[in-house]
């Protein structure tokens, strides 16, 4: 036994993580079902640190010092289950199996229970930052027992991204908590990307700007409060020229957005927890609509009625409108994060996790796809307790939305008038307006429910549950106990 950590699954993410571990002084056992991948890693990067290549799971396990700690980086679902089973069979009580894939958190809860019953630790660990992050410093969200964190913590801290000197990893909570938080991270990632896409669309189709010009706008926005990885790469994508046609690359990419399922899980989970995550949901649905090829082709053929998708503005007003879009993006982003954190809060209550939201915001400041300057403010808001009920009530964000809201409304109104879809901008605004309404039309819905189904309602002036005998005119309402 000579390695203090092992990695199973040496595709791009796995081999980069193994290299990152080796770069930081760990001795890393590496194993892949087909040895050629292990060989490639050893040939190309074997001199970067200490690796112990293994041909079989048994050899791999034997090369680990106790408590044996192995990180699995294979496809979510059945392949993960297969590797867990093989490892668990070869390991001993006290050993630690870490799943670093994008697992669905109920699977992680189930696996943790099964593995714990066998005396081993199972840690579902969200890993964000893509291939580059895995190599140079990801943000990591491990769940599992406190005890496993004692062994795993220092190893993960050695390879995590740093944000203001702090490693972007923390023990999120027991069993599936880490994968739950990673799932919400991805939901927020979808919302961020959709909001950026809507901003782009308003400038491209709305204002008729070129991809390159818009790339420059994003580069400028990246210098201010919107500073983030996704804004930064947006300017890079928009400035990219296609080698074949010389056109902006974005113009030759088919406009059907793909997805692997984590955004959908975030929304499904939010629905079952009854948490409105309108920004994230609209982002998932917008990807869905973009990929409905048959319906979109038919709509084009039928020339569905609508205004010309162009916003006519005098030259002097264009700059101001671009600034309005920036503010709408910022306000909507705040709402999307508030909703995402609401989901984390609701999940923590439902599954009995003690999740430190400030710590979650802190580890998202570096390494992950949604890393952004504004996460400093988010972590401060949770730290101070101002965001206990919602991020929207923390002074900084309350003020930020207060100053952005007129711009936000102008953008949504213009977009609607000119037929440019802004589902995430507009649903976030509606959520905000819904939240701040002292009376909502939900009272009417309660009346309807009581009329057609005797579902009862509560009164504003008296405690209890009431039902009205609707058909009998003039008959008083009756109270139900």
Q: Which residues bind ligand 6PG (CB under 6 A)?
A: 102, 128-130, 186, 189, 258-260, 262-263, 368-369
Token pair for residue 105?
A: 């958190």
| Chain position carrying tokens 């192995």 | 70
- The residue (of 94 and 130) whose beta carbon lies closer to ligand 6PG is 130
Helix (H) or strand (E) run with residue 381 in it: helix 375-383
DSSP code of residue 365: S
d(CA 220, CA 229): 13
Give me the active site residues, please: 182, 189
d(CA 184, CA 265): 9
Instruction: Report residue 71 CA to chain centroid gap.
Output: 22
Per DSSP, helices labelled H in 173-292 are 177-201, 211-221, 229-239, 249-252, 262-273, 278-290
CA-based torsion, 222, 228, 234, 237: positive or negative: positive
CA angle 362, 389, 284 (to 5 degrees): 70
Selection from 127, 124, 104 nearest residue 173 by Cα: 124
d(CA 262, CA 271): 14
Q: Shortest distance, CB of residue 374 to ligand 6PG, whole angstroms?
A: 18
Q: Shortest distance, CB of residue 76 to ligand 6PG, whole angstroms?
A: 10
- The residue (of 183 and 334) whose beta carbon lies closer to ligand 6PG is 183
Token pair for residue 2?
A: 């000579």
116 marked as binding residue:
no
260 marked as binding residue:
yes
- The residue (of 283 and 335) whose beta carbon lies closer to ligand 6PG is 283
Q: Shortest distance, CB of residue 247 to ligand 6PG, whole angstroms?
A: 24
- The residue (of 72 and 401) whose beta carbon lies closer to ligand 6PG is 72
475 marked as binding residue:
no
Q: Shortest distance, CB of residue 130 to ligand 6PG, whole angstroms?
A: 5
> For residues 81 and 104, is the Cβ–Cβ distance under 8 A?
no
Q: Shortest distance, CB of residue 262 to ligand 6PG, whole angstroms?
A: 5
403 marked as binding residue:
no
- The residue (of 258 and 306) whose beta carbon lies closer to ligand 6PG is 258
102 marked as binding residue:
yes
Instruction: Report residue 400 CA to chain centroid gap.
Output: 22
Three-state DSSP at 126 gives: strand
DSSP code of residue 395: H
- The residue (of 133 and 144) whose beta carbon lies closer to ligand 6PG is 133
455 marked as binding residue:
yes
Task: Give the nearest residue (CB) to ligand 6PG.
Answer: 128
Q: Shortest distance, CB of residue 414 to ligand 6PG, whole angstroms?
A: 29
* Known binding-site positions: 102, 128-130, 185-186, 190, 260, 287, 449, 455
Q: State the binding site for substrate.
A: 102, 128-130, 185-186, 190, 260, 287, 449, 455
């Amino acid at each position: 036994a000579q390695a203090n950590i092992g990695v199973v699954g040496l595709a791009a993410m796995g081999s980069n993580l193994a290299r990152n571990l080796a770069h930081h002084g760990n001795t890393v056992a590496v194993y892949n079902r087909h040895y050629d991948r292990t060989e490639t890693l050893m040939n190309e990067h074997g001199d970067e640190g200490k690796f112990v290549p293994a041909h079989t799971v048994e050899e791999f396990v034997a090369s680990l010092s106790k408590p044996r700690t192995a990180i699995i980086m294979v496809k979510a679902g059945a392949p993960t289950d297969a590797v867990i089973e093989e490892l668990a069979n070869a390991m001993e009580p006290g050993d630690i199996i870490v799943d670093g894939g994008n697992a669905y958190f109920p699977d992680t809860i189930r696996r943790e229970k099964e593995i714990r019953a066998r005396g081993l630790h199972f840690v579902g660990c969200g890993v964000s930052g893509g291939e580059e992050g895995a190599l140079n410093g990801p943000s990591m969200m491990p769940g599992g027992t406190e005890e496993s964190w004692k062994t795993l913590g220092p190893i993960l801290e050695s390879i995590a991204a740093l944000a203001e000197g702090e490693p972007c990893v923390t023990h999120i909570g027991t069993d599936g908590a880490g994968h739950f938080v990673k799932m919400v991270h991805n939901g927020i990632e979808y919302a961020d990307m959709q909001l950026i896409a809507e901003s782009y669309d308003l400038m491209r189709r709305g204002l008729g700007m070129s991809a390159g010009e818009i790339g420059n706008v994003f580069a400028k926005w990246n210098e201010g409060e919107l500073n983030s990885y996704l804004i930064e790469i947006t300017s890079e994508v928009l400035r990219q020229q296609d080698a074949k046609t010389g056109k902006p690359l974005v113009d030759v990419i088919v406009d059907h957005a793909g997805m692997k399922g984590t955004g959908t899980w975030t929304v499904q989970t939010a629905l079952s927890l009854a948490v409105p995550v309108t920004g994230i949901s609209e982002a998932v649905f917008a990807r869905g609509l973009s990929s409905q090829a048959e319906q979109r082709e038919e709509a084009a053929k039928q020339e569905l009625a609508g205004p010309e998708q162009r916003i006519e503005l005098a030259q002097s007003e264009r700059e101001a409108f671009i600034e309005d879009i920036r503010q709408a993006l910022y306000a909507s982003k705040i709402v999307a994060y508030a909703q995402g954190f609401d989901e984390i809060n609701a999940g923590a209550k439902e599954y009995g996790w003690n999740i430190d939201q400030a710590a979650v915001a802190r580890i998202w400041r570096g390494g992950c796809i949604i890393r952004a300057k504004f996460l400093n403010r988010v972590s401060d808001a949770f730290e101070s307790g101002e965001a206990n009920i919602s991020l929207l009530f923390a002074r900084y964000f309350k003020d930020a939305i207060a100053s952005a809201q007129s711009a936000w409304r102008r953008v949504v109104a213009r977009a609607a008038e000119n037929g440019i879809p802004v589902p995430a901008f507009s649903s976030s605004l509606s959520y905000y307006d819904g939240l701040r309404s002292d009376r909502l039309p939900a009272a009417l819905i309660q009346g309807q429910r009581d009329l057609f189904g005797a579902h009862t309602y509560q009164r504003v002036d008296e405690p209890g549950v009431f039902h009205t005998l609707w058909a009998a005119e003039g008959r008083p309402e009756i109270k139900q106990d």
